[in-house]
Amino acid sequence: MSYIDILKEAEDQVTPGMSACQGCGGELILRTVLKIAGKNTIVGIPPGCMAGAGVVGWNYANGLKIPVHIPLLDNTASFLTGLSQMYERKGRGEVNMIGIAGDGATADCGFQSLSAAAERNEKMLYVCYDNEGYMNTGYQRSSTTTKGSRTSTTPIGAVINGKQQQQKYLPLIMSMHGLTYCATASPSHMADFVKKVEKGLAASKKGFAYLHVFSPCPTGWAYSPEKAIEVARNAVRSNMFPLWEMDEDGYHMNVRNKTPISVKEFIQGIGKFKNLTEEDINSIQQIADQRFHILMRLAEQGME
């Protein structure tokens, strides 16, 4: 079945009233993952944009049609560990255990519990929607924020301009945990994304599956909402966000750019990058090239 048919036929698991911003990448990611997962699912969504948009419920109501819990910002993977093991124990290992968390809850304060759950190969699918910052609290810097970005805690100042450090590249770190499945995805490449959610869910019945998804954020990054998918596509086309996966056969590069666009082209029209110097742009380009080179080497290794 083509991904279009899959998405057309699957039931949306979000109840009316969800209040994400226009053009939110996180919302699209959440709806897509839960559509594919279906009813027999329990989901943990820690504090962040998706929780703030109401999908974890409000007052006495649920925000989803499936059971949901808002774990702590830093314990999604360990909370789901206990739940997943308990379901396995009850003979209900077929229930999907899914975490959907932002980059702060994943790469920063949630990293310790995430890393440990991945190392123990706990049975769950963990999806990070990476919008490169703490968007729900007003866009503060995280470890996945791209260098030079203007954020609330890395403002453009008279002396210091934006974030001073390069981004931490989490998916590759996750892939070194001995987990069952690890992949990157982008809402601009839906066929690839849908396939990876399906593979991730299947892998989550055997061990830890990790999906790192690019999540463009018009509100925080300062560009028009209708450009969200274009921004996501350019991230892939520029090799800023390569699409790859690691399964039992090793690493695979899923999208190969014959003629990648430059980082300079990718950042065009994105407000948070407005004050980048030529030097900044060159250093980001260098990191993107290096990272892509490493990933290609890993993927080639897998092909031997």
Using rule CB under 8 A, residue 39 touches other proteins: yes
Number of C-beta neighbours around residue 4 at 10 A? 11
- Applying the rule CB under 8 A, the residues between 226 and 285 that interact with other proteins are none
Cβ proximity to other proteins, 51 vs 185, nearer residue: 51
| H-helix or E-strand spanning residue 132 | none
Task: Tell whether residue 205 is a contact of other proteins (CB under 8 A).
Answer: no
User: Measuring CA to CA, which residue among 260, 238, 244 is closest to residue 296?
Assistant: 244
* 129 to 85, 103, 157: CA distances (angstroms): 25, 6, 29
Cβ proximity to other proteins: between 113 and 184 the closer is 113
For position 86 contacting other proteins by CB under 8 A, the verdict is yes
**Dist. CA 293–CA 54, nearest whole Å:** 40
**78 touches other proteins (CB under 8 A):** yes
Please answer whether residues 141 and 104 qualify as being in contact, where contact means their C-beta atoms are separated by less than 8 angstroms.
no
CA-to-CA distance for 96 and 202, rounded, in angstroms? 9
The first and second tokens of residue 161, run together, are 């301009």
Question: Which is closer to other proteins, CB of 46 or CB of 260?
Answer: 46
Stretch that binds other proteins, among 28-36, 39-47, 142-150, 167-175 (CB under 8 A): 39-47
Polymer length in residues for the chain: 304
Least separation in angstroms between CB 81 and other proteins: 5
Instruction: Give min distance, CB of 18 to other proteins, in A.
Output: 13
CA pair distance 67, 84, nearest whole angstrom = 14
17 to 8, 56, 252: CA distances (angstroms): 21, 12, 39
8 A C-beta contact, residue 200 and residue 125? yes
Per-residue contact flags (x/-) with other proteins for residues 88 to 107, judged by CB under 8 A: -xx----x------------
Q: Is residue 74 a contact residue for other proteins (CB under 8 A)?
A: yes
67 contributes a contact to other proteins by CB under 8 A? yes
Work out whether 116 is an interface residue with other proteins (CB under 8 A): yes
**Residue among 12 and 230 whose Cβ is closer to other proteins:** 12
Q: Report, in Å, the least distance between residue 47 CB and other proteins.
A: 10
Q: Where do contacts with other proteins occur on this chain (CB under 8 A)?
A: 39-42, 51, 54, 56-72, 74-75, 78-87, 89-90, 95, 112-113, 115-116, 120
